Structure 1
Amino acid sequence: MATLNNRFDFVYMFDVQDGNPNGDPDAGNLPRIDAETGMGLVTDVCLKRKVRNYVQIAKGLSDGFDIFIKEKAVLNDEIDKAHDDSEVKGIKDAKEKTAAARRFMCKNYYDIRTFGAVMSTGKNAGQVRGPIQLTFARSVDAVATAEHSITRIAVATPGEAEKQNGENHTMGRKATIPYGLYVCHGFISANLARQTGFSEEDLQLFWEALKNMFDMDRSAARGLMSAQKLVVFKHDSVLGNAPANKLFDLVKVEKNTDSAPRSFKDYNVTIDKDALPSGVTVEELI
């Protein structure tokens, strides 16, 4: 696999219509918001989950593309697989064994060599700092959260049916926002990629996941979520040629309507390519 020789920074935009992009369990699963500004929030953990799910579907947990943090996984059992490997098992020195187990986990688990992991909860496989890091996604404008009453024409138990004399209705609640355009910023370190074995092939799979992961993650609760824009800044060097924040400032998102935005068409996205620093190129992958 080709070694990653360039630093990347990127801006990822996605939107939601009539859905809950990321419920907050500490607030009755209402959409996450910044309490001071009313801007909607989607955590980096939520986005990484969708990337993991896409890779799991696309690669089918094939060699080198297993997922460490997957549904119903027992993490220590996964770490045990590294220590049961013939090459690792034969090592006597504890530090060398941990380092070998760490290499095994990076080689076999896509999400570890991409996002990193703490693997010292059982048999020690060390810690990995992943080359790809994401910020929380924040909506461009304040979002209006709403709760809707919903009805199910069935009940769970005979006792409930008896109390309702056979009417059999169950009331529930559903939380949504009518529309929100979210912006996430990401960073890819070529230096850390070399340490974990994250390759050019892995990077292309990551871009593919950002483009398609919402189509693999549909649910009634999330409404219509869509990837709308992916702007990638590529540096000529491993360490980078400009600060990430200066590059992000070149991407402008402006509302083009006086009414409340209800689609991506209500925004203009521009990139000031004339102000690109030397040694940095930009590409729009979506």
Structure 2
Amino acid sequence: MSLSTGEILFIKSVKDGIPNRDPLNDSDARRIFGEEDGRISLSDVSIKRDVRDYILAKYPDGGPEKRYFVWCRGERTPDGKLLGRDKLAEAILERAGRQKVANKSEALLELAFDMRVFGAVFSVEKQSFHKTGPVQFGWAHSLHPVETKYVQGTVIMPSQDVTTNEEGTETGKGQGSIWTTYTLPFAVFAVPGVINASIAKETKMDEKDLELLLEGLWKGTIYRQARGRGIQQPLLLVHVEYNDPFFRIGYLEDYISLEPERDAWLGSTPPTSLADVVLDVEELAKVIGSESPYATKIKQVRWWKNPELALKGELPGKEENIW
């Protein structure tokens, strides 16, 4: 069964960290809007990394069908050298027992989940490979202004060994180092995505890939951890499928809002937990519901919800069980 063109809207939160830092701004949060706007952003690369890392952890050997290898990943040789794109592709072919196939590009599409879903550009053994992915995510933006905080602390472990010479004098650095970082107490982000049915046919992305992608968005947010990224939680995932492969409503994130509004986030006591906010989905429900002017274009609506998230309004379609 072929895929339908569709849209994804994924809402997630973070506490006590910054999920996607900007190396050009002292590793503070990424800001692609003006300072007065105040919102911070996550790149699509960060979102895809969450999905890839989860699938790589779930199917390190490609899964029972050898269809869920992850090509875009970090892997090193025994002597510590980082593998390049062509070597990573060759490793997948070898682990699947397909290294002697004539058409390596086609074989890789069958074997690598992220190639089928997100696309790839490279060449292996003089075979050029260029596929646009049927799934594309836009930049994710916070649903409110954010003020990050600059903090510092100390590491008790000395950075160098401390030794005592024959005269009884200590040498080496006998104290820990000072660390500094930016952080934020709490933020909620909206992640938009699109699925192109025509391109999916070219890359051989199927229904199983779609279901694994949705699972990877939700569970990958929980799985991928790093101290500076904070504690992240998936809150709401909406998947809208269309009857027309050449149609989409577009910009579903513009039909949601978060309460309280802007002034509260810039005040002296901004929200600091999920219990302090409500997600307003009333406008979204109107645009994807049975009374929508686009109703005849919509094939089905599915959604997954964190039970701790408070909603204002009722979403149409089918609520699915969380993985």
Q: Structures share a fold, TM > 0.5?
A: yes
Residues 40 and 180 of structure 1 are in contact (CA less than 8 Å); yes or no, is this contact kept in structure 2?
no
In the alignment, what sits opposite 2:318?
Answer: none
CA deviation vs aligned residue, 1:231-268 (integer Å, no higher than 9, x gap): 1111123333x4323x554x321313663232334132
Matched-pair contact (CA < 8 Å) for 2:67–2:113: yes
Aligned: 1:59 with 2:59 = yes
Q: Is the 8 A contact 1:8 1:187 kept in 2?
A: yes
| Counterpart in the other structure of 1:279 | 297
2:13 counterpart of 1:15:
yes
Identical columns (%): 22
Match of 2:42 in 1: 42
Using the size of structure 2 for normalisation, the TM-score is 0.76
- For the pair 1:152 / 2:151, whether they are aligned, the reply is no
Deviation, structure 1 residue 283 = 2.1
8 Å CA contact 1:32–1:41 kept in 2: the answer is yes
Partners of 1:79 and 1:214 lie apart in 2 by 26
The question of whether the paired residues in 2 share the 8 Å contact of 1:23 and 1:29 is answered with yes
Distance 2:112 2:16 in 1: 35
Distance 2:171 2:148 in 1: 36
CA contact 1:130–1:193 (8 Å) conserved in 2? yes
User: In the alignment, residue 65 of structure 1 is paired with which amino acid?
Assistant: Y
Q: Deviations over 1:88-123 (max 9, x none)?
A: 1xxxxxxxxxxx332112111111111001113763
Q: Match of 1:87?
A: 101
> TM-score, with normalisation over the residues of structure 1?
0.85
- Aligned residues of 2:144 and 2:258 also touching (Cα < 8 A): no
Q: What secondary structure sits across from 1:119 in the alignment?
A: strand
Aligned to 1:253: 257
Aligned to 2:313: none
Q: Say if 1:172 and 1:248 are closer, same or farther in 2 by CA, change over 3 A.
A: closer
More helix by share: 1
Q: What is the identity, as a one-letter code, of the residue corresponding to 1:59? A: Y
- Tell me, in whole angstroms, the C-alpha distance in 1 between the residues paired with 2:99 and 2:156: 53
Q: CA deviation digits over 1:113-148, x for unaligned, max 9?
A: 110011137633320111100001001111111121
Equivalent position amino acid for 1:263 in 2: S
- RMSD between superposed Cα atoms in Å: 2.3
Change in Cα spacing, 1:34 to 1:142, as seen in structure 2 (3 Å) is farther
Aligned residues: 268
Q: Which secondary structure does the structure 2 equivalent of 1:153 belong to?
A: strand
Residue 285 of structure 1 aligns to a residue whose secondary structure is strand
Deviation at 1:163, TM superposition (A): 5.9
Native 8 Å contact 2:5 2:244 kept in 1: yes
Q: The residue matched to 1:158 in structure 2 has which SS?
A: coil
Moved more, 26-35 or 60-69: 26-35
Distance 1:215 1:248, change over 3 A: closer
Higher relative CO (Cα under 8 Å, sequence separation at least 6) belongs to 1
Report the equivalent of 2:273: 263
Structure 1 unaligned spans of 5+: 89-99
